[in-house]
Structure 1
Amino acid sequence: MVDGKRRVSPPDGGWGWVIVGCCFMVTVCTRAVTRCISIFFVEFQAHFGADYSATAWIHSLVDCTTMLCAPVGSLVGNRWSCRVAVMFGGLLSSCGLLLSSFTTSLELLYFSLGVLTGLGFALCYTPAIAMVGCYFQRRKALAYGIAMSGSGIGTFVLAPAVQLLIELYSWRGALLILSAFVANLCVCGSLLRPITLLEEEEEEGEEKHGEDERCFISCFLSSKEYRFLLLPDFLGLAVSFLFLASGCSLPFVYLVPYALSAGVGHQNAAFLMSILGVIDIMGNITFGWLTDRRCLKPYRLACYVFSVGMEGLCCLFMPLLRSFPLLVPFAILYGYFDGAYVALIPVVTSDVVGAPYLSSALGVVYFLHAIPYLVSPPIGGWLVDVTGSYTATFFLSGAALLASALILSTVAGIRHCCRRRHPTTVAMETKHEPFPLSPSDQSNCFMAFNKEAVGQAVAS
């Protein structure tokens, strides 16, 4: 017993599979519903007399708000509980969709569907994903693979269903039914049974010194919850996520227009997206299962870097693919590795910061996705307008993805060299502690490594 709380290890099963099922439904109700909003665009244009660019801001606002407010979801989950965060988020997003079905202007849709629904999704998404990491350790990658596959499976099922609802009940009726469907987030939230994971107590003096050292972050943020922000490992991970988010969304936006410009028929162009979505699901689950195997488990970060790098290479070769038979392999490869890295984002983040800090860390991680998600599609479209082709857009996507993989590889390489120069770190890591060194110790380690490298360069 520690402070009246019982030490609990991740059960790797039992109620944990209920948590995985709940997280699966959360990704269906948030990410899949967000993808399906684009189906309403033609209806919005016809009803409000708006052009495509004005209507497209709705989708961008939902996506951006969901990621931008991800730290709010983490904060609510940490201060109260993940159950409260998901239930309140479900209520908020359902109300946003309900109000959208009665809206009378596009500007009101920006608020109700873009901001209000996006904020509700943000309150649900991060806490639900963090709960999976609390219940699983040995089979964490598989659990996350199943949970995150809800986005692909949900899109595959919801897209035709939403189109049918629009045809039967108009866009207002479809939004009303979606509001009732999203209300199931409240049910999912009620099933998120809290679990307390306690690590070994740190020495009181070291904890106080660490708090003093990190007090500059913000008086609003708890230094205990956000101590990982000073870790060099996490900082490198954060920078790589910025580049990742800048490149990963462009192929989803421009694959169909590019295929049409290459002479592929409308039906086959749409079929490419279906292939990508189905293979994405396979990547979620199979890559999660593979990286839980004993032989690959120590190399999960390397598997993540490999997935992102392969996506980048696929984009660089995209301009050479000018027919449907050649674009099918692209859809298969890109879809598989997209599903692979999406499933590994929470796993890699958890390996860096540890399960107790996962909710806060994921909030920051998804927050970093917000602005790139908002601006990269318009930048890609501007490049198409300026150059008259999609080559520059796909080169931008590929370069950003490769830069993300390169940055993370560099950070991992520096960390490996740093560990070799500090053997005590390796010994401590064998105890599976998420922070083998304190933030200040890691910073000193990196400074020592850099100083030694500079000294060797001068001597040579």
Structure 2
Amino acid sequence: MATPRKVLHSSPPDGGWGWMIVVGCFLVTICTRAVTRCISIFFVEFQTYFAQDYARTAWIHSIADCATMLCGLGFALCYSPAIAMVGKYFNKRKALAYGIAMSGSGIGTFILAPVVQLLIEQFSWRGALLILGGFVLNLCVCGALMRPITLKEDHENPSELHKQEYVSKAQKQDLKQISMCSPLMKEWSHECLCHCSWQEYNFLLMPDFMVLAVSVLFMAYGCSPLFVYLVPYALSVGVSHQEAAFLMSILGVIDIIGNITFGWLTDRRCLKKYRHICYLFAVGMDGLCCLFLPVLQSFPLLVPFSFTFGYFDGAYVTLIPVVTADVVGTPSLSSALGVVYFLHAVPYLLSPPIAGWLVDTTGSYTASFLLCGFSMIFSSILLCFARLAKKIKRTHLRSLAKDANIKQQIWTNGTIAYSVAGELDQKDVEMLAIDTNSYCNR
């Protein structure tokens, strides 16, 4: 079969087949994140059937989330690539596209939460899991919608297309020929491959990305246990099974509103440069919601919590890839998103069992929810202080440059060259020219 011809785009199309990519990512988030969230509804069933405590039962959900973010297995093969593809197809309307795509998590939770409860009642937890497994097979359809796109900036950035072309040539050489080469040739090819790999991941040493990475660790630790323990907590305060599942549905549908509204708002020109602030605000608000959760011990009080937490959860989930793209740039977005979601893995693995251990030890959910709330608030504060420190540093450098009266010439690649000629006064230059002319006339 003939290989499809690759078309070089000067910039992301911001439409066209890009909307099909958004639809594909939307379905992927339903089949991955929404299904994973609904494991919370299975929590009590697992705990009763296997006669285990909270900490051990929580490993089921935490391992599923961790594998999605950590390995190249299962959901991970669909989730991260679909999100990266949206970033390739959109630039001006990137936040809105991500808002629509990521809203699949909320819509899926809204629909699946009551459906899963009905399936458990009709077919037990085993039959419900089999039906969910058949539903997840729709990921094959989503994969068929994905079409790779080649941008002009990929050609200009050596960390993308040039790297791929160079590495592919090195990798396509026959292994027998490589074995016959001299040790010097082997060492040279190994150094070239390492250099190309470093070009792809050189954003790891960027201060902004390092702060974002640490912030993501605390944010992921704080958000994961709530989706595991919201239904068990509601049942422990006297809420019925149907009402507890309805709380997850509310959280899901409001999550959609947060996805789309924050995506649309942060695409506006007046808010585009404040995406970081919107992100840290949303994370901090979710942390405050977790702090107040132990006080809410009835269904009428838990409903406003689901509204508030769901809205800001949808907001910051939408902004994670947008903020990451603003920090590292579009060419490195795929690799950076892989690292960001990889960083979710360890908190997702550890936080639900730790929260369960606290419930088993203290006999209440208070300590678990407080720890989650303070973790998310610390994540927000860390980003806030980092931005303040960066702003203070810029102001200090500007004042130094003004006092020294040094002209700065900014080149297209972002480096700064200092002109020595800027230290000379224009009048002195004119006087020097006059003296030179008079000397020549003599």
With normalisation by structure 1, the TM-score equals 0.72
CA distance in structure 2 between the partners assigned to 1:197 and 1:37 by the alignment: 39
CA distance in structure 1 between the partners assigned to 2:335 and 2:39 by the alignment: 28
Residues 383 and 393, structure 1, Cα contact 8 Å, conserved in 2:
yes
Q: CA deviation at 1:381?
A: 2.0
Cα gap change, 1:326/1:179 in structure 2, threshold over 3 Å: closer, same or farther?
Answer: closer
Alignment partner for residue 17 of structure 2, among 12, 15, 18? 15
With normalisation by structure 2, the TM-score equals 0.75
Deviations 1:362-396 (A, max 9, x none): 11111111111111112112222333332222211
Q: Which moved more, 1:287-296 or 1:411-420?
A: 411-420
Equivalent residue number for residue 32 of structure 1: 34
Q: Which moved more, 1:24-33 or 1:194-203?
A: 194-203
CA distance in structure 1 between the partners assigned to 2:146 and 2:396 by the alignment: 43
Residues 30 and 104, structure 2, Cα contact 8 Å, conserved in 1:
yes
Cα gap change, 1:428/1:392 in structure 2, threshold over 3 Å: closer, same or farther?
Answer: farther
| Backbone CA RMSD of aligned residues | 3.4
1:187 to 2:189 alignment: no
Equivalent residue number for residue 273 of structure 1: 248
1:149 to 2:103 alignment: yes
Deviations 1:193-242 (A, max 9, x none): 111223384799xx99xxxxxx99x9498112111101000000000000
Matches within 5 A, 1:160-171: 160-164=114-118
Equivalent residue number for residue 134 of structure 1: 88
Equivalent residue number for residue 63 of structure 1: 65
Q: CA deviation at 1:358?
A: 1.0
CA distance in structure 1 between the partners assigned to 2:157 and 2:252 by the alignment: 45
Alignment partner for residue 228 of structure 2, among 253, 267, 270? 253
Equivalent residue number for residue 387 of structure 1: 362
Residues 18 and 86, structure 2, Cα contact 8 Å, conserved in 1:
yes
1:410 to 2:385 alignment: yes
Residues 84 and 337, structure 2, Cα contact 8 Å, conserved in 1:
yes
Deviations 1:111-163 (A, max 9, x none): xxxxxxxx121111111000101111111111111101111211222334445
Residues 251 and 394, structure 1, Cα contact 8 Å, conserved in 2:
yes
Residues 19 and 132, structure 1, Cα contact 8 Å, conserved in 2:
yes
CA distance in structure 1 between the partners assigned to 2:24 and 2:94 by the alignment: 15
Residues 234 and 353, structure 1, Cα contact 8 Å, conserved in 2:
yes
Deviations 1:36-88 (A, max 9, x none): 345556776788x564665543332211111112xx4xxxxxxxxxxxxxxxx
Output the amino acid matched with 1:380.
A
Equivalent residue number for residue 267 of structure 2: 292
Residues 324 and 336, structure 2, Cα contact 8 Å, conserved in 1:
yes
Output the amino acid matched with 1:27.
T
Cα gap change, 1:396/1:427 in structure 2, threshold over 3 Å: closer, same or farther?
Answer: farther
Output the amino acid matched with 1:134.
K
Q: Which moved more, 1:58-67 or 1:157-166?
A: 157-166
Aligned to 1:223, the other structure's residue is in SS state: helix
1:367 to 2:342 alignment: yes
CA distance in structure 1 between the partners assigned to 2:22 and 2:143 by the alignment: 12
Deviations 1:271-323 (A, max 9, x none): 32222222111111111111111221111110001101111112222233333
Residues 109 and 253, structure 2, Cα contact 8 Å, conserved in 1:
no
Q: CA deviation at 1:428?
A: 6.7
Equivalent residue number for residue 332 of structure 2: 357
Equivalent residue number for residue 109 of structure 1: none
Residues 282 and 316, structure 2, Cα contact 8 Å, conserved in 1:
yes
Alignment partner for residue 121 of structure 1, among 63, 66, 75? 75
CA distance in structure 2 between the partners assigned to 1:158 and 1:176 by the alignment: 14
Alignment partner for residue 316 of structure 2, among 341, 344, 364? 341
Residues 53 and 360, structure 2, Cα contact 8 Å, conserved in 1:
no
CA distance in structure 2 between the partners assigned to 1:41 and 1:315 by the alignment: 20
Equivalent residue number for residue 297 of structure 2: 322
CA distance in structure 2 between the partners assigned to 1:347 and 1:243 by the alignment: 19
Residues 39 and 228, structure 2, Cα contact 8 Å, conserved in 1:
no
Q: How many residue pairs align between the two structures? A: 373
Cα gap change, 1:157/1:172 in structure 2, threshold over 3 Å: closer, same or farther?
Answer: same
Aligned to 2:150, the other structure's residue is in SS state: coil
Q: CA deviation at 1:427?
A: 9.4
Output the amino acid matched with 1:158.
L
Higher Cα Rg, which structure: 2
Residues 41 and 52, structure 1, Cα contact 8 Å, conserved in 2:
no
Q: Which moved more, 1:230-239 or 1:375-384?
A: 375-384
CA distance in structure 2 between the partners assigned to 1:319 and 1:169 by the alignment: 33
CA distance in structure 1 between the partners assigned to 2:364 and 2:42 by the alignment: 27
Equivalent residue number for residue 376 of structure 2: 401
1:228 to 2:203 alignment: yes
CA distance in structure 2 between the partners assigned to 1:392 and 1:174 by the alignment: 32
Cα gap change, 1:398/1:39 in structure 2, threshold over 3 Å: closer, same or farther?
Answer: closer
5+ residue gaps in structure 1? 73-118, 209-214, 442-460
Residues 145 and 286, structure 1, Cα contact 8 Å, conserved in 2:
yes
Aligned to 1:193, the other structure's residue is in SS state: coil
Output the amino acid matched with 2:92.
R
